[in-house]
Amino acid sequence: MSKAQKSNKESKKQPSMTAKEKKVAKKLKKDEKNSRNALFD
């Protein structure tokens, strides 16, 4: 009978946002900044 291996390694944390979500958020932030600057020109 084999012994079960016990691991002390912590499991990986799940990312709060996926790569797609990060990309969308970054684009929105950039667009928001650009639209604000257009008002002051």
pLDDT at 5: 73
Beta-carbon contacts of residue 17 (< 8 Å; ≥ 6 apart):
25
* Cα–Cα nearest to 15, from 7, 3, 23: 23
Residue type at 35 in one-letter notation? S
pLDDT at 12: 78
pLDDT at 41: 55
pLDDT at 29: 92
Condensed to tens digits (0 to 9), the pLDDT of residues 1-41 reads: 567 777 777 777 777 889 999 999 999 999 888 877 666 55
pTM (2 decimals)?
0.49
